[in-house]
Amino acid sequence: MESLTASQIFDSRGNPTVRVVLRLKDRQGVAGQFEAQVPSGASKGSYEAHELRDGGEKYGGQGVSKAVNFVNKIIGPALMDKVNIGEIRLNEQSKIDDFLCQLDGTEKKEKMGANALLAVSMVCTRAGAAIQGKELFEHLALLSGMPTDNFILPVPFMNQINGGVHSGNTLAFQEFMIAPVGAQTFTHAMQICTEIYHTLKSIIIERSGKAATGLGDEGGFAPPLKSADEALHLLELATLKAGYSVYRNQSGQQHGDVAFGIDPASSEFFDKKRKLYDLGFKFDPHDKAKSDFCLSSSELGEVYESICKKYSVILLEDPFAEDDFDSWKNFTREHSCGLEIVGDDLLATNPKRIRIGIEQALCNSLLLKINQIGTITEAIESAQLARNNGWRVFVSHRSGETVDDFIADLAVGLRTGHLKCGAPARGERLAKYNRLLAIESILQSRQEKIKYSYAGYNTQAAEKK
């Protein structure tokens, strides 16, 4: 290894984040430069690994010079020594990540920061793939114990409408997504999603004017909506107007091109003191109607049940707050059949939280965010723990993203069958989708068998039995 250096760059929200560059010498068999950029979330769970920020007035306290300095002065030199004396090889990802965790020495990466450690972990994974002459998705498959043929291209759950803390409208729920489950290829999926996205824009302009087509953090439109029913009605209308059918599951027979997914991100509007979910949390505080939007967990569950049936919602992420276990348990017991109930803040890509979720049957799917845990090895272990217990795994971006496309390879390598990267707008979102198109092209050029499947790993496991 010739060098490992970090610098401060900016994410899609204009906040500082960490970039790491690794350079290899010719004598190591592969010469080249590898890069990694770390994302950041706006809605963060309490159980995520610690993101090290500088504090103070500069950049509103969001600077990452401390994390950068840890890489440049401690992590980089220490890891280079281990690699250059042959104690650790760059294709030994678990050894690298164990070393990083030992350097930090805290459970939540509070000393050096998960953003510093993750950047190094990601860039070493890329270098490890190159050393073996593998594509990144192939290397990730090997690291996770998966085969390196018959890859599955994921169904994109593509953000179309933003609400919650990701937008300036009064819509409480954070994301409304479409899933092209009826597509035949990933290329076909992109066609469906982009056509619906542009059709949705024209409908919003017709109804509310051009000023209503502003975008949220993840590229979805943020029109003046107040309820999930309004948002899903718009998505269904756009789907049909674009010439596609809405997914239906009738008597075990599945039909249709497009299904829907919702991420309420309910921890953001949970009132801990009153134990109520405030769907009017973005309303004017003096709005007399605001109190009508405060719901108990059972009332909120009824809202979910109603809209899921009415609009063929197949995925619901973080329907309840991260510590509201009883609500999770009750809802999952009643609705897990046919509905993917995803834990994000609930689980935080953390094996300890995932085990609690499994033991108490709180949900049936893991949202996999690599910056919630801090190293690639730990992220893979979280995914393995989830799917070994019959759960799905749903790979996810963050609202503060970069053009780094790592998670596209992660979804293919781990055969998760689905992921979310945001809307088909804004370069940091499209970087992931374009990488998936490139992966599809690579596999087609090899004349390899390719699946496009929402079921992902679970389908393959079922076929082996």
pLDDT tens-digit readout, 46-59: 899 999 999 999 99
CA-CA distance, 325 to 323, in Å (whole number)? 5
User: Is 369 an active-site residue?
Assistant: yes
pLDDT digits (tens, 9 = 90+) for 279-308: 988 887 766 566 678 999 999 999 999 999
Percent of the chain with pLDDT over 90: 84
Quote the longest CA-to-CA distance of the chain.
Answer: 71
Binding-site annotation: residue ranges for Mg(2+): 263, 317, 344
Q: How far apart are the first and last CA of the chain?
A: 44
pLDDT band at 102 (very low <50, low <70, confident <90, very high): very high
Domain finish residue from 133, 162, 182: 133
For the chain, counts of helices (H) and of strands (E)? 15, 19
Query: What CATH number is given to the structural domain containing 363?
Result: 3.20.20.120
Question: Would you say residue 125 lies in a domain?
Answer: yes
CA-CA distance, 458 to 415, in Å (whole number)? 9
Same domain assignment for residues 80 and 170: no
Question: Would you say residue 45 lies in a domain?
Answer: yes
Same domain assignment for residues 216 and 288: yes
Whole-number pLDDT of residue 293: 84
Any residues with CB less than 8 A from the CB of 446 and at least 6 apart, and which?
Answer: none
pLDDT band at 350 (very low <50, low <70, confident <90, very high): very high
Catalytic residue (one of 51, 218, 401, 428): 218
Whole-number pLDDT of residue 30: 66
Question: Would you say residue 147 lies in a domain?
Answer: no
How many structural domains are present in the chain? Answer: 2
Any residues with CB less than 8 A from the CB of 157 and at least 6 apart, and which?
Answer: 177, 178, 179, 261, 315, 394, 418, 419, 420
pLDDT digits (tens, 9 = 90+) for 301-331: 999 999 998 998 999 999 999 999 999 999 9
Same domain assignment for residues 458 and 370: yes
Percent of the chain with pLDDT over 70: 94
Domain finish residue from 133, 163, 184: 133
Question: Would you say residue 143 lies in a domain?
Answer: no
Q: Is the pLDDT of residue 462 over 60?
A: no
Cβ neighbours of 438 (radius 10 Å): 14
Same domain assignment for residues 110 and 242: no
**Residue-wise burial string across 27-47, b where 16 or more C-beta atoms lie within 10 A, e elsewhere:** ebebeeebebbbbbbbbbbeb
Binding-site annotation: residue ranges for substrate: 166, 175, 317, 344, 396-399, 420
CA distances from 452 to 122, 151, 418 (A): 26, 9, 9
Same domain assignment for residues 161 and 216: yes
Q: Is the pLDDT of residue 253 over 70?
A: no
Same domain assignment for residues 417 and 273: yes
Q: Which of 269, 265, 165, 264 is nearest to 218 (CA)?
A: 165
Backbone angles phi, psi at 294, to 5 degrees: -90, 120
Q: Which amino acid is at 85?
A: I
Question: Would you say residue 160 lies in a domain?
Answer: yes
Q: Is the pLDDT of residue 44 over 80?
A: no
Same domain assignment for residues 93 and 164: no
Same domain assignment for residues 118 and 199: no
Query: What CATH number is given to the structural domain containing 23?
Result: 3.30.390.10
pLDDT digits (tens, 9 = 90+) for 367-409: 999 999 999 999 999 999 999 999 999 999 999 999 999 999 9
Q: Which domain holds residue 258?
A: 152-464
Mean pLDDT of the chain: 92
Catalytic residue (one of 282, 369, 378, 401): 369
Query: Of residues 289 and 111, which shows the higher confidence score?
Result: 111
pLDDT band at 165 (very low <50, low <70, confident <90, very high): confident
Whole-number pLDDT of residue 460: 37
Same domain assignment for residues 278 and 356: yes
Query: Of residues 461 and 25, which shows the higher confidence score?
Result: 25
Q: Is the pLDDT of residue 275 over 90?
A: yes
Helix segments in 220-296, DSSP class H: 228-241
Q: At what angle do helices 114-131 and 93-104 cross, to 10 degrees?
A: 160
Range 129-143 average pLDDT = 96
